[in-house]
Amino acid sequence: MSSLFHKTTPVLVVERVEPVLSFWSKLGIVPGVQVPDESAKDGRLAFVILAAEGIEVMYQTVASITGDTVASASDKKAFRLEPQQATLYVEVGDLAQVESKLAGERLVMPRRKTFYGATEIGYADPAGNIVIFSQHAAGS
């Protein structure tokens, strides 16, 4: 019997893709697929897929969504055509390594211990999305 689901990947809606690339590159996650914005003359991107070691996240500009996804939608009013904040929860093996690599990035949630046995820290990416990194204690 085949599985109904294979994976899920968030698509984060932003004004510009380029500002978030340095945030993720500090963690070793670099763009795979990059789609240029054909309407822009400055070489900016319309869409990018960032993937590495079980992490996959996509960023797409409002302009790209408007011209691509919404253009073919049957219910155009269902789409919010502005950047939207998302929160990503990323489990990691070494939280101290994440903290070291993201030194200087916008810390929005200092390191904390949770009731479910995790140690977490949260950052805002340059587009304003929240990324919570979590290291779970053995056995939790």
pTM confidence score? 0.90
pLDDT tens per residue, range 9-68:
999 999 999 999 999 999 999 999 999 998 878 889 999 999 998 899 999 999 999 998
Indicate the fold that domain 1-84 takes in CATH. Answer: glyoxalase-related enzyme like fold (3.30.1900)
Do 63 and 81 touch, CB atoms closer than 8 A?
A: no
Which of 74, 14, 72 lies closest to 44 in space, CA to CA? Answer: 14
Do 46 and 17 touch, CB atoms closer than 8 A?
A: yes
CATH number 3.30.720.110 is the correct assignment for the domain at 85-140: yes
Do 85 and 10 touch, CB atoms closer than 8 A?
A: no
- For the chain, domain boundaries: 1-84, 85-140
